[in-house]
Amino acid sequence: SQQGEEDPQALSIQEGENATMNCSYKTSINNLQWYRQNSGRGLVHLILIRSNEREKHSGRLRVTLDTSKKSSSLLITASRAADTASYFCAPRGNTPLVFGKGTRLSVIA
Amino acid sequence: SAVISQKPSRDICQRGTSLTIQCQVDSQVTMMFWYRQQPGQSLTLIATANQGSEATYESGFVIDKFPISRPNLTFSTLTVSNMSPEDSSIYLCSVAVGDSSSGNTIYFGEGSWLTVV
């Protein structure tokens, strides 16, 4: 399946620190998308990285993609309390998105 | 991008009743999906809503329990029928937008949080 598996399952950091989350998958993909979900809410699309891209930036977010290792990472720099949420990666080929358990990030003020 | 409106955002339902969730998109989209997220769990795909034909259901989900309509390219409904407490979940509508050659971007609504009592 194209389900991504996020690691770690939970991460707790101090405000101002950087947070790194990893994603592994098993099949070939067209792109990989990262999402944030605040408790009880919908998913917010953060960033899309295409299979021919290796790195992409958006504000405080930096995403890398290594298709040879079938892995991706999401780095949030200078974290804020408002970044507290669950983060999901979604490898995408030609089928609907399948989600793993996500990484639960807690940013402590 | 796409702006997705879901209604209701939250509801408390009686056991045995049915509730219909609406999903409205601000642009025409080819692909729409419905997901369920049970408390403390990840998202599970219920079905792909196909315009002009029956929805495509994932394993474990059936049309009698989760009938879906897709009358046009901007609107879909999901009905949760004969609800039980196990149906208490967030139900999310999502759409695929953009360049199919590099893979579409998937956007989500804010979700409909149903509690069955």
B47-82: buried (b, 16+ CB within 10 Å) or exposed (e) per residue?
A: bbbebeeebebeeebeeebbbbebeebbbbbbebbe
Q: Are the beta carbons of B103 and A41 separated by less than 8 Å?
A: no
Q: Is A1 a residue whose pLDDT tops 70?
A: no
User: Which member of B42, B110, B111 has the closest CB to residue A102?
Assistant: B42
Q: What is the mean pLDDT of chain B?
A: 93
pLDDT at position A81, please?
96
The pLDDT score that the predictor gives to residue A49 is: 94
As a whole number, the mean pLDDT across chain A is: 93
Give A104 or A97, the one with higher predicted confidence. A104
pLDDT attached to residue B99: 66
Instruction: State mean pLDDT over A3-32.
Output: 94
pLDDT at position B100: 59
Smallest Cβ–Cβ distance between B103 and the set A35, A92, A100 belongs to: A92
Interface contact B3, partner A, CB < 8 A: no
Contact B113 A40 (CB under 8 A): yes
Which positions in chain B touch A42 (Cβ < 8 Å)?
Answer: 6, 90, 92, 108-111
What pLDDT sits at residue B31? 87
pLDDT (average), residues B36-54: 91
Q: What is the pLDDT of residue B36?
A: 97
Please state, in angstroms and rounded to a whole number, the distance separating the CA atoms of residues A61 and A76: 5
Contacts of A51 in chain B (CB under 8 A): 102-103
What pLDDT score was predicted for residue B104? 78
